[in-house]
Amino acid sequence: MLAEIKGLNEECGVFGIWGHKDPAPIAYYGLHSLQHRGQEGAGIVVSDGEKLKTHKGMGLVNEVFGKGEINDMYGKGAIGHVRYTTAGGSNLLNVQPLVFNSQKGSLALAHNGNLVNATSLKHQLERQGSIFQTTSDTEVVAHLIKRSGFEDVVDQIKNALTMVKGAYAFMFMVEDKLIAALDPNGLRPLSIGRLGDGYVLSSETCAFDIIGATYEREVEPGELVIIDDEGLRSERFSSSPKRAICSMEYVYFARPDSNVDQINVHQARKSLGKQLAQEHPIEADVVTGVPDSSISAAIGYAEQSGIPYELGLIKNRYVGRTFIQPSQELREQGVKMKLSAVRGVVEGKRVVMIDDSIVRGTTSRRIVKLLREAGAKEVHVRISAPPIKNPCFYGIDTSTSSELIASVKTVEEIREEIGADTLEFLSVEGLMDGIGRSKEMENCGQCLACFTGQYPTEIYPDTDHPQEKC
């Protein structure tokens, strides 16, 4: 992913497996397929039924497990995590799964999302004597579990989850079972699959295809899934309101070959592109998409408009994840290293450039400039989502309005800022129609907070200064 270019990042992916003779290699391949959800750190914890074994580190999955560590991790179950760094910075202590040991056994947990009341809970726990080792909001849940007063780990987890608010897809593992939980609003995706006699869980269904698993169903909002040697059972820890799954999973975050809540991401994005062409047509010669997440929408726009689709922008897949940028000149060069305009496609042409979002505006300005330098006669920018005007507190790295250009500028002012000939965004109604969520559900089952400012959960005073998100 163009993390340095795009300016919008998701925080983490989780994977779990129980009842397979080689859980660690399966978890490795599962995490590899979720690499787009986080590139800063990765980890796997394996249980052999009696103890937990951990390996984690900074970097990509194949870097963390590049010396054969996976070959020494035997067991019957595993959970894994890929992580994107936000407020807390790159720190090995924050890399998950986190593991906690006590006289009664060990607990490993991994988390995708963000707890909006983590800071207030942490202050409360510290006053009661808790000592925190990380800056991750995930550690708060471990302390709540151990302080619950219940004997059974399932009851401990259910009790702890009643106290946390926000977005979360949790994986817990103790010596003899794997437990997964999804927040009552279902803000983050989490699916269940079968692999032989075992079960797998993943943030995205694309992992099932990689490992040869069969999709079973989604984890329901407010549901606790317990998997052990006896099989899978389900309990509820919360009565669920109407589902509010993150709209940006469909627009940007999830892989095109994943199904999120039984809707294929590629088809949803293609439909968004068609909707965009209906709402904002333009006379042009060629349509191109910003790789990779906007390609599907660009294909849809081209099909609906009748304007040919071409690969006008190419991503360089061999650029390292970090790049030294001590000056503005080198920052511009860094963009050119990651993305190139195809002169033979755009020169002398009126180009429709499809992108999925404009966050701060700097990326769009640089890409428009690339197209003009390659000879584009006109550049018309079309965005396959509404303007992002409000911060996200649920696990996306836009926690303040000041980071968002659409919160302070009009569409015309943004157009001038990025240097486009025209600029148009998809409407909120077009977004919901394009994705195809059930209209009988409130908010069509989606979280639209970053577009509308209507949040599905209470937002706490300390949320403006969140801890490390995962």
Nearest-CA neighbor of 273 among 256, 251, 253?
Answer: 251
Kindly report the three-state secondary structure assignment for every residue of the chain: CCHHHHCCCECCEEEEEECCCCHHHHHHHHHHHCHHHCCCEEEEEEECCCCEEEEEEECCHHHHCCCCHHHHCCCCEEEEEEECCCCCCCCHHHCCCEEEEECCEEEEEEEEEEECCHHHHHHHHHHCCCCCCCCECHHHHHHHHHCCCCCCHHHHHHHHHCCCCEEEEEEEEECCEEEEEECCCCCCCCEEEEECCEEEEECCCHHHHHHCCEEEEECCCCEEEEEECCEEEEEECCCCCCCCEEHHHHHHHCCCCCEECCEEHHHHHHHHHHHHHHHCCCCCCEEEECCCCCHHHHHHHHHHHCCCECCCEEECCCCCCCCCCCCHHHHHHHHHHHEEECHHHHCCCEEEEEECCCCCCHHHHHHHHHHHHCCCCEEEEEECCCCCCCCCCCCECCCCHHHCHHHCCCHHHHHHHHCCCEEEECCHHHHHHHHCCCCCCHHHHEECHHHHCCCCCCCCHHHHCCCECC
Which of 12, 246, 447, 450 is labelled catalytic? Answer: 12
CA 10 to chain centroid: 4
Range in 59-68, 136-145, 393-402 the model is least confident about = 393-402
pLDDT for residue 4? 34
Nearest-CA neighbor of 294 among 334, 353, 341?
Answer: 353
Instruction: Select the more confidently predicted residue: 89 or 74.
Output: 74
Q: Could you give the CA distance from residue 423 to residue 212 in angstroms, rounded to a whole number?
A: 43
pTM comes to 0.90
Mean pLDDT (whole number) for 274-279: 98
Nearest-CA neighbor of 22 among 77, 79, 66, 61?
Answer: 77
Above 80 in pLDDT, residue 162?
yes
Q: Could you give the CA distance from residue 182 to residue 170 in angstroms, rounded to a whole number?
A: 6
Above 60 in pLDDT, residue 397?
yes
Mean pLDDT (whole number) for 63-84: 94
Other Cβ atoms less than 10 A from the Cβ of 441: the count is 12
* Measured CA distances, 389 to 259, 328, 392 (Å): 27, 27, 10
Model confidence over 18-58: pLDDT tens digits?
999 999 999 999 999 999 999 999 999 999 999 999 999 99
Q: How many residues does the chain have?
A: 470
Q: Could you give the CA distance from residue 147 to residue 156 in angstroms, rounded to a whole number?
A: 8
Model confidence over 103-132: pLDDT tens digits?
889 999 999 999 999 889 988 888 888 888
- Taking each helix axis from N to C terminus, what angle separates 362-373 and 328-338, rounded to the nearest 10 degrees? 70
Model confidence over 344-384: pLDDT tens digits?
999 999 999 999 999 999 999 999 999 999 999 999 999 99
pLDDT for residue 126? 87
Query: Is 12 a residue of the active site?
Result: yes
Strand pairing category for 223-228 and 231-236:
antiparallel
Compute the mean pLDDT over every residue in the chain, rounded to the nearest whole number.
89
pLDDT for residue 299? 98
